[in-house]
């Protein structure tokens, strides 16, 4: 069973540009969550998508957006990049079988996309 | 403001020791508390806790939540060098999720 895949694995952009990151969850998983990890701020939650709808959202500016497709694949977009957006962006998927409006079941993380903004 | 505090920040033990990692929180609209293990790559999910007093176990690892005192502990018994990692605690609160800074555990042979 293939794990969570993220593309690209590495990316270099310049300030002001925009970027789109992709996450393919494990087959059958319906929930995809995105996280940002930096040495200074640690791991921070960006948002979670379930059945093509954003269910939960962390405290990030509107420059950070995402979407989920009918096959559960998800994309994250960051517009007008800033130097501080340099980070490892992780996505995680889970089955999310429960009725609770939350991340449920075991999460599986992808390897991450390392974004460097120059 | 919601916050999650882990202690200690770092810990060095020897193989065979038992360790207890702590996670305390102050959040609005608590939903669940999660533990992760992160080595040099992406985190690995360990436990999700929603109810007080119910211990979750996985091999040598166990965790319990106290919703009255607002904390959780992660126990690792008979530690091995492969347990060396950063252990992260996260709390789902409202629509958000907050992570602690992590506890860096080093297990020496």
Chain A residues with CB-CB distance to B30 below 8 A: none
Does residue A100 belong to the interface with chain B, where contact is any CB pair within 8 Å? yes
Q: Is A83 helix (H, G, I), strand (E, B) or coil?
A: helix
Contact residues, A window 6-45, toward B, CB-based 8 Å cutoff: 42-45
Tell me the per-residue pLDDT of A13-44, one tens digit each, with 9 for 90 and over.
999 999 999 999 999 999 999 999 999 999 99
Tell me the per-residue pLDDT of B55-109, one tens digit each, with 9 for 90 and over.
889 999 999 999 999 999 999 999 999 999 999 999 999 889 999 999 999 999 9
Q: How far apart are CA A86 and CA B93, in angstroms?
A: 26
Q: How far apart are CA B104 and CA B7, in angstroms?
A: 10
The answer on pLDDT for A101 being more than 60 is no
Q: How far apart are CA A33 and CA A66, in angstroms?
A: 10
pLDDT band for position A1 (cuts 50, 70, 90): low
User: In which residue are the tokens 């269910």 written?
Assistant: A55
Structure tokens at B89: 């605690």
Q: How far apart are CA A44 and CA B63, in angstroms?
A: 22
Facing residue for B99 by CB, picked from A44, A102, A109:
A44
Chain B residues with CB-CB distance to A43 below 8 A: 43, 88, 90, 99, 102
Facing residue for A103 by CB, picked from B44, B92, B99:
B92
Closest-CA distance of chain A to residue B102, Å: 8
Closest-CA distance of chain A to residue B48, Å: 8
Closest-CA distance of chain B to residue A118, Å: 23
Q: Label the pairing between strands A5-7 and B61-66.
A: unpaired
Averaged pLDDT of chain A: 91
Given an 8 Å threshold on Cβ–Cβ distance, is B42 in contact with A55? no
Tell me the per-residue pLDDT of B27-42, one tens digit each, with 9 for 90 and over.
999 989 999 999 988 9
Chain A residues with CB-CB distance to B100 below 8 A: 42
């Amino acid at each position: 069973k293939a794990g969570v895949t993220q593309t690209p694995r590495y990316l270099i952009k310049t300030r002001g540009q925009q970027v789109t990151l992709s996450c393919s969850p494990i087959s059958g998983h319906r929930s995809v969550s995105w996280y940002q990890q930096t040495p200074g701020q640690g791991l921070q939650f960006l948002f979670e998508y379930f059945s093509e709808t954003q269910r939960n959202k962390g405290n990030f500016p509107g420059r950070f957006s995402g979407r989920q497709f009918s096959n559960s694949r998800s994309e994250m977009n960051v517009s007008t990049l800033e130097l501080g957006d340099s980070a490892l962006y992780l996505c995680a998927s889970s089955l999310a079988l429960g009725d609770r409006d939350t991340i449920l079941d075991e999460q599986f993380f992808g390897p991450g996309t390392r974004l460097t903004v120059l | 403001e919601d916050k999650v505090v882990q202690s200690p920040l770092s810990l060095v033990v020897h193989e065979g020791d038992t360790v207890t990692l702590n996670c305390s929180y102050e959040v609005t609209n608590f939903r669940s508390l999660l533990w992760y293990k992160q080595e040099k790559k992406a985190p690995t999910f360990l436990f999700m806790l929603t109810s007080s007093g119910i211990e979750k176990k996985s091999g040598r690892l166990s965790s319990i939540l106290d919703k009255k005192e607002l904390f959780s502990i992660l126990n690792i018994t008979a530690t091995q060098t492969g347990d060396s990692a950063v252990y992260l605690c996260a709390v789902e609160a409202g629509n958000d999720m907050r992570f602690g800074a992590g506890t860096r555990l080093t297990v020496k042979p």
